[in-house]
Amino acid sequence: MIRDMSDDFYSIYAHGFLRAACAAPAVRVADPAFNLSASLVMARRAHERGAGLVVLPELGLSAYAIDDLLMQAPLLDGVERAAGELIAASAELLPVIVAGAPLRHAGRLYNCALVIHRGALLGVAPKTYLPNYREFYERRHFASGAFIRGETIAVAGHEAPFGADLLFAAQDQPDFVLGVEICEDVWAPIPPSTRAALAGATVIANLSASNAIVGKADYRDLLCKAHSGRCLAAYLYSAAGPGESTTDMAWDGQASIYENGEKLVEAPRFAREPQLAIADVDLARMNAERLRQGTFGDCADLESEPFRRVDFTLAPPRGDIGFLRAMDRFPFVPDDDARLSELCFEAFNIQAHGLRQRLEATGLKRVVIGVSGGLDSTQALLVCCTAFDQLGLPRRDILAYTLPAFATSATTKSNAWKLMKALGVGAAEIDVSPACRQMLADLNHPAARGEPVYDATYENVQAGARTSLLFRLANQHDAIVVGTGDLSELALGWCTYGVGDQMAHYNVNASVPKTLIQHLIRWCAADWRFGADAAPVLEAILGTEISPELVPGAAGDVPAQLTENFVGPYALQDFNLYWITRYGFGPRKVAFMAWHAWKDAGAGAWPPHIPAEKKRAYDLADIRKWLGVFVKRFFATSQFKRSAMPNGPKVSSGGSLSPRGDWRAPSDSSAAAWLAEVERIP
């Protein structure tokens, strides 16, 4: 019976995840009864952990390194009895069990994977590629299953599909489609699992023996990572471990789980005790990637072969069984110093290269930029300096202006001046307050008469005056205006149409999210990349609360507006931005992942240099509230601003919102479907 899990928010299985396990059990050479018992220990451990799949090693019911004992009838009879007992014992277990065994069929012997679930033998997949070089002699004993298609096999009284053309599809978990291959198959130029993935398999199980020699584990790891990435699939690799014969070889029990080019988990190698590697793989993510990458479907049209689908019902557990997956709080920002430094180097140089090319193409040698003393204009100014240095142009031709108005704080104005001086750019100040007062008077706005009416008109008069001035300065100095607005602001519509955070001649920050901009600036400050004088100013800017500074504060230098009070914490909103735009996930799944990422501030890794006060937790109510804000602002009210974005380089793999790049959408669409999902979050 297919169960509806749409109301089961706390279950991983309700959100397209599969808990998968790879086992490296103990084996005893040529002892099927012992090996059955050891395999059941691992299957039961996987069951207790809520796993829907457990993969055992190649020829696990007989052991792999037994040479001509494979031709002995007593051994093969014992293997078949063990297979029958494994099928019977599986009736009480949740996971699909994939076990390795030598099986006879039509007068030949095959190296096989048995796919077992809930007391039934779903199918048997024979090994396609048989190694017969160096220490391997499989062709001495086995026949290849390359041409076995459309057949059936009898195993211990169970008749089941047999062939290299089998997929196993969970009817109650539509993202879970299993393909199987065995050891050498993945080392072939075109692994059988490639065609299985093209036919719809989202999970590939590889039952392997694969002895240990120096350097081989790294190569296997590289092979599995690359193959999972190319196939847009989860890949489970289970190698033989303790107990295999060491007459001529040694074994390390490498049990690993991969997803789209990334290793999620690996069991310790050379362990004395049986090992179980277990992780929650995101199969919905794999299908989302396939939908997006049209070339995957094109390749399926050209290369796929007919596969038989064997349907089964997984019947996974309901409710919260935990989440066995590292969920980054900051998907745009790596958690370790080395990777973060590498990302900052790349992002910074992509931004600088974009501006450099634009200047070379136009033949212009000056830029105009507004510097507020906030994060975005700081990052854009640093990029300008880098591009000018690379072009051999003097920094004094970066015409930087601080443009104070009614609500500019002394802190941000001071930081703007300190930064401009430290960087050696052409620095100037133009107070736009008189121009703003004149426009408010022309509009007969109450603020022109001294009334404290701080509406959108009041705010945007200031923003518009600054932008108009920057564009006219660019005309005057034969320059282009460099924009400062970032990806997060564009996503939330926290920018004014036609002004500097939305409009420019070229915007270097257009696809850089707020959480990454903070680390780019910190990266520059940490190593004094712009000199000893700039570093403390950059740190001061990083410590300043984010504010548009368009409404006068009531307490001196304290801003009246804090951006995150209006649009939500950028940490949460960048999380939402990444998963909704990059993969098309719905709000319920995004909320589920955000809850696991953010519910415990003391758990998991944080990117380097996150201030202690920022290491906070968010409960599900917070997550639901701000996700609702994101959905409404992103889908219902802001697209018209993104449709008129200026040029700017794509920086992050998380995507951009340029209508010429990653995101095209109508400006008048409804957000009802997304908001309805938000309402269904507990």
Q: Among all residues, which ones are annotated catalytic? A: 58, 127, 183
Q: Is-contact 399 477, C-beta < 8 A?
A: yes
Cα–Cα dist 597/682, whole Å:
17
What is the bridge-based pairing of β-strands 177-182 and 108-117? unpaired
Structure tokens given for 504: 């420019």
Whether 381 and 369 have beta carbons less than 8 Å apart is answered as yes
For 574, the token pair is 């960048």
Write b or e for each residue in 433-464: b if 16 or more Cβ atoms lie within 10 A of its Cβ, otherwise e.
Answer: eebbbebbeeeebebbeeeeebeeebbbbbbb
Q: What is the largest CA-CA distance in the chain?
A: 102
| Exposure b/e, 531-569, CB count within 10 A at least 16 = b | eeebbebbebbbebebbbbbbbeeeeeebbbebbeebbb
CA atoms of 451 and 565, how far apart (whole Å): 25
Please identify which residue in the block is written with the tokens 């009416």. Answer: 453
What does the alpha-carbon distance between residue 583 and residue 176 come to, in Å, rounded to a whole number? 18
Specify the amino acid at residue 498: G
**Side-by-side strand order, sheet with 262-266:** 262-266, 255-259, 234-238, 203-207, 177-182, 166-170, 308-312
Query: What is the DSSP annotation of 584-606?
Result: ---HHHHHHHHHHHHS-TTSS--
H or E stretch at 180: strand 177-182
SS3 labels along 198-212? HCCCCEEEEECCCCC
Q: What is the DSSP letter of 311?
A: E
Q: What share of the chain is helix, strand, coil (3-state, %, to 5)?
A: 40, 15, 40
In sequence order, what are the residues at sequence separation of 6 or more whose Cβ sits closer than 8 angstroms to the Cβ of residue 231? 193, 194, 197, 201, 204
Tell me the residue ranges of DSSP E strands in 525-613.
none
Contacts with 278 (C-beta within 8 Å, 6 or more apart), sequence order: 19, 20, 21, 22, 46, 49, 51, 257, 265, 324
Q: Is 233 in contact with 203 (CB distance < 8 Å)?
A: yes
| Axis-axis angle for helices 534-542, 514-526 (nearest 10) | 150
3-state SS, residue 281: strand
- Return the bridge partners of 104, or none: 109
Euclidean distance between CA atoms 18 and 163, whole angstroms: 25
Give exposure, 5-30, as e/b (b: 16+ Cβ within 10 Å): eeebbbbbbbbbbbbbbbbbbbbbbb
- Per the DSSP assignment, residues forming a β-bridge with 126 are 112
3-state SS assignment for residue 291: helix
| Residue 400, SS3 per DSSP | strand
